[in-house]
Structure 1
Amino acid sequence: MPRVQKTCLHEALQLEPSAYAIDAGYKWPTPDRRLAATTKSGRNPLAARGQAATVLEKLTEESASRLADVFPGPLVLPDDELTNDPKYPPQSFRSWFNEPLRKNNKLNSKRKTLYVAYTPEITPGVDYMKQWRQPKVKKRSKSASEKLQPPLDDIIKYTGAFYHGLSVKPFPTRLQFVPWTEPKESGERSSGIQYVGLLAGNNCTRIRARPSPDGIFGGQLNLEDLLDAAIEMVPKEAYSIILLVDHDMYEDEDDDFCCGRAYGGNRVSVVSTARYHPALDGHAGIEFEHMWPASHCKSYVEDICVANDTQSHLGTDQRGSTSGPLWAALEAVRSLQEPVTLEDRKGLWFSRIARTAVHELGHCLGLDHCIYYACVMQGSSRIAEDVRQPPYLCPVCLSKVAYAIACELDGGDENGKEMYIKERYRLLADFCGMWKHVGMFAGYGAWLRARLEVVDP
């Protein structure tokens, strides 16, 4: 397979929501509200008693300007999650802090372990499930038949760095898919539904399965049943558990597929690796050269807006950047070519799983979808949007995670919180350095190092 020649020069970065956001009805929170959303009080931290409004406005704009090339706004492109739901309610630090479900699920010294449950083993009685893992693409390629098993040790290492301060361990019981002999209900007999069992120790949960509506996979597993199984598995000493499956998933009968979901109140999540297979990139409409961080390429964003009849809005956003951590991330991926080797494809696939895993675990810590910035906690409506989103936590979401771990769990103060953030950045940068041949990790590593130059000079 020949290497693909890049055609886009990525001459500048888009730092604000796209022109398309205007048509979608999305309104980016003001700099004042974005700063206020990082505090427990819900007030702009730059505000001071007796301060003139003009002084506060100037300080706020200066702060927003310094953060612009670090934490840009969400892109809001056609069919994105925020395009479909532009008025999704924001979750500030204050609203997160006061959320009743979160208050009942705080981290503590006896409950601070995140368990990663490896993809269940397929036992002889359900051998047919092995075929369900192979994507069916129109142009059959060697990569479509590759078994890209998740590297459990690396998922644990990445999650451990991302949620530094928590203990991340492999789930102690090997899970298995086994036959389930219970008869189907009448409605399920006519819909193609069948059952398999998910065995964890002495407990077996019934999992519904069906053919995938788009024909990409031979079978899908029901997400709600998998989450119910995960709830039954949570050890007493665990804060949370994430279940990895290498089968396609669906949520309900109207759903085509689903890649991940969390029951935050129960502190469980499930992630499917199936749709992230690189062999499906063409089917998903993924442009390799415009995955994050190149998703913020200004010409790329503007071309999409023009193609969707938003020309009249072009020019309302004149900002374009060629500096800062996001630019450093872009520079780090310029030389990377579309994956050719098996190791390259495994790395690409792994980066997508890693990003989704920490997103779903964020929900277990009480974080809702983010609407303030481009952020790993953004909601996503499709795979093509997934790969355009960043791996980092924005200032609002980072303030929540840092407070939960450094303050509530470890008893630290504001200084301890800042030290925690720096150490977390260093650990993540070290991890990314081991995967610098993979776009997301190469970009994230460069972003982290540039960020550290500012917060820890």
Structure 2
Amino acid sequence: MSSCNHPSLRLDVSPHAAATGFSRPALARRQAATTPSGRVTNKQDVLQNHARLESLFPAPLVLPGDALAVDPGASPPQSLRSWVQDKNRNPVTPQRKTIYVAPTPSFAPELGPAYPLEWQPPAIKLPGVDKGVGRACFDARSVRDYLEAFYHPLPVKMLPGEVRWVPWSEDGGRRRGPKDGRYLGLQIGDGVTRIAVRRCPDEAYRHQLRVGDLLDALADALPRDAYALLLVTEADMYEDDEDEFCCGRAYGGSRVAVVSGARYHPVFDAARGGREHDWPFSHCAEFVGSLCEGDGTGSSSGERGDRSSSKGRKTDGEALLSGSGADAVMEAVVQAGLNLPAPSPLQDRSTPRPDPGAPSSLLWLSRVARTAAHEVGHCFCLEHCSYYACIMQDTSGMSEDLRQPPYLCLVCLAKLERAVLDGVSGSPADDGAAFCIARYEALVRLCARWEHAAPMWAAYRRWLETRIEMLKNP
């Protein structure tokens, strides 16, 4: 649970953004980016409606060290029009519309009973580690459930057949047991692919797997009716020799993606400074100001972290929690995260009480599910986003990753809407509002299952309900 009291929120880019050269597209350009023509509408009411959503869709923070701060040009804005014109885009069709999720691989008995322990974080055994964190785990089937709601109404299925780690030797393929540890075999169905293994450079884990090899294995196993195939694994990954680790990667053109939950494990939260300003608490104005203070772009003392002087005043780019109207939208979201709802008496009677590891497991799941949605988004040819704070943003590290929201911004949602409604037979292609409402309602149902234990699920549900209300009452 967060201990930040959040006297104010920052809905605009941070003061640091100007020093990096990052320039957020203007409101009219953001509105135009959601239209197939790419043109700015002259209808004042449309622009006003777009402006009304600004507190529900805040700007990217662009804090020191963030991806947009380090290289502002690395994620050029991708409008709906440019996405439509992308000749490499994978169309959704009635014959190829299913998203498959490969389950977390099991370990073959030939690897030995102690081998799975070598892939767990050594930090679990450190003194003082919470027992719930030590027992935390996530289920790939829950990731499937989330993707089914996130990419509603596309079908999302578990990949049939066996998925497991098996021994590998260079001279004869599969071998009887661990040898030099340089390679591991990934068996998907009847096929086995060699996966490179290395020692973890920062020793957060003992071993890491090369993500390119994992993606190659998925490409070989892609079902004929698959739009995309995602592998969910708890093993740590790396991309090349210069990398310390990698949490997710997609070969969008090949329609395959992989997500590792290794670095999202709650056991690492204390080492990175806690989870106090993970989403939905990431837009805390005091937090933003404190990170910008050291580079000469910091705010005044009222924005920087002095709560007594920041209450009761409103500075540029900042919305006070005591505000009203559109400015109060994110306040409600934050408060939902701070005040986790308790399970109802009916739920207590009809379902068993969760074990001590359940809150940590659902926290872990919230992170893995968000990244899974991001990587599958690349299979839809959604590029990294710089219009808004968005699930499709690029990230430069774990802290930035966990500050980003779980939702698609207005521009990225317009692309997904177009992809799904153009490709699924029988969809109301002329009614985008109905598509969005149905999708949001599916996500609300998912959040309701897990919101009792993790702030993201509770806050996300409040965000979704606010968006549904706006769509139903424009």
Same fold flag (TM > 0.5): yes
Hey, what's the Cα distance between the residues in 2 that align with 1:77 and 1:328? 24
Q: How does 1:335-346 map to 2 (within 5 A)?
A: 335-336=339-340, 341-346=356-361
What displacement does 1:407 show?
2.9
Aligned residue for 1:187?
none
- Amino acid aligned to 2:437: K
Hey, what's the Cα distance between the residues in 1 that align with 2:206 and 2:148? 34
Q: 1:132 to 1:90 in 2, by over 3 A?
A: farther
Counterpart among 8, 13, 16 of residue 12 in structure 2: 16
- Amino acid aligned to 1:320: A
Q: How does 1:323-402 map to 2 (within 5 A)?
A: 323-336=327-340, 341-402=356-417
Q: Are 1:111 and 2:96 counterparts?
A: yes
What displacement does 1:139 show?
4.3
Aligned residue for 2:316?
317
Deviations 1:290-318 (CA, angstroms, capped at 9, x unpaired) = 11111011111112111443237979834
Hey, what's the Cα distance between the residues in 1 that align with 2:385 and 2:2? 35
Q: Are 1:450 and 2:457 counterparts?
A: no
What displacement does 1:63 show?
3.8
Q: 1:12 to 1:19 in 2, by over 3 A?
A: same
**Which stretch shows the higher mean deviation, 365-374 or 410-419?**
410-419
Aligned residue for 2:287?
300
Aligned residue for 2:235?
247
Hey, what's the Cα distance between the residues in 1 that align with 2:28 and 2:317? 21
Q: 1:318 to 1:386 in 2, by over 3 A?
A: closer
Hey, what's the Cα distance between the residues in 1 that align with 2:120 and 2:36? 47
RMSD: 2.5
Hey, what's the Cα distance between the residues in 1 that align with 2:182 and 2:431? 52
Deviations 1:114-156 (CA, angstroms, capped at 9, x unpaired) = 1100111111333464133221339442559735332233222
Hey, what's the Cα distance between the residues in 1 that align with 2:333 and 2:315? 26
Aligned residue for 1:203?
191
Q: How does 1:124-203 map to 2 (within 5 A)?
A: 124-127=109-112, 129-137=115-123, 139-140=126-127, 141-143=129-131, 146-182=134-170, 194-203=182-191
Deviations 1:218-266 (CA, angstroms, capped at 9, x unpaired) = 0000000000001001010111100011110000011100000000000
Q: 1:318 to 1:417 in 2, by over 3 A?
A: closer
Hey, what's the Cα distance between the residues in 2 that align with 1:133 and 1:176? 14
What displacement does 1:414 show?
5.6
Q: 1:360 to 1:288 in 2, by over 3 A?
A: same
Report the 3-state secondary structure (helix = DSSP H, G, I; strand = E; otherwise coil) of the residue aligned with 1:320: strand
Hey, what's the Cα distance between the residues in 1 that align with 2:386 and 2:32? 14
Hey, what's the Cα distance between the residues in 2 that align with 1:107 and 1:414? 13
Aligned residue for 1:41?
37
Report the 3-state secondary structure (helix = DSSP H, G, I; strand = E; otherwise coil) of the residue aligned with 1:387: helix
Aligned residue for 1:278?
266
**Which stretch shows the higher mean deviation, 151-160 or 432-441?**
151-160
- Give TM-score, length-normalised by structure 1: 0.89
- Amino acid aligned to 1:379: D
Q: 1:112 to 1:91 in 2, by over 3 A?
A: same
Report the 3-state secondary structure (helix = DSSP H, G, I; strand = E; otherwise coil) of the residue aligned with 2:157: strand
Q: How does 1:7-86 map to 2 (within 5 A)?
A: 8-44=4-40, 46-47=41-42, 60=47, 62-86=48-72
**Misfit runs of 4+, over 4 Å:** 142-145, 312-316, 411-414
Report the 3-state secondary structure (helix = DSSP H, G, I; strand = E; otherwise coil) of the residue aligned with 2:53: helix
Hey, what's the Cα distance between the residues in 2 that align with 1:76 and 1:316? 18
Structure 1 gaps of 5+ residues are: 49-55, 185-191
- Amino acid aligned to 2:384: H
Q: Are 1:215 and 2:203 counterparts?
A: yes
Hey, what's the Cα distance between the residues in 1 that align with 2:256 and 2:104? 15
Hey, what's the Cα distance between the residues in 2 that align with 1:111 and 1:318? 44
Q: 1:311 to 1:347 in 2, by over 3 A?
A: same
Q: 1:100 to 1:124 in 2, by over 3 A?
A: same
Report the 3-state secondary structure (helix = DSSP H, G, I; strand = E; otherwise coil) of the residue aligned with 2:282: helix
The answer on whether the counterparts of 1:115 and 1:242 sit within 8 Å (CA) in structure 2 is yes
Aligned residue for 1:440?
456
Aligned residue for 1:89?
76
Q: 1:193 to 1:81 in 2, by over 3 A?
A: farther
Hey, what's the Cα distance between the residues in 1 that align with 2:38 and 2:355? 49
The answer on whether the counterparts of 1:13 and 1:296 sit within 8 Å (CA) in structure 2 is yes
Deviations 1:23-49 (CA, angstroms, capped at 9, x unpaired) = 2221111111111111111112x326x
Aligned length: 432
The answer on whether the counterparts of 2:92 and 2:422 sit within 8 Å (CA) in structure 1 is no
Hey, what's the Cα distance between the residues in 2 that align with 1:125 and 1:306? 55
- Amino acid aligned to 1:165: P
**Which stretch shows the higher mean deviation, 430-439 or 211-220?**
430-439
- Amino acid aligned to 2:63: L
Counterpart among 420, 423, 435 of residue 408 in structure 1: 423
Report the 3-state secondary structure (helix = DSSP H, G, I; strand = E; otherwise coil) of the residue aligned with 2:318: coil
The answer on whether the counterparts of 2:234 and 2:260 sit within 8 Å (CA) in structure 1 is yes
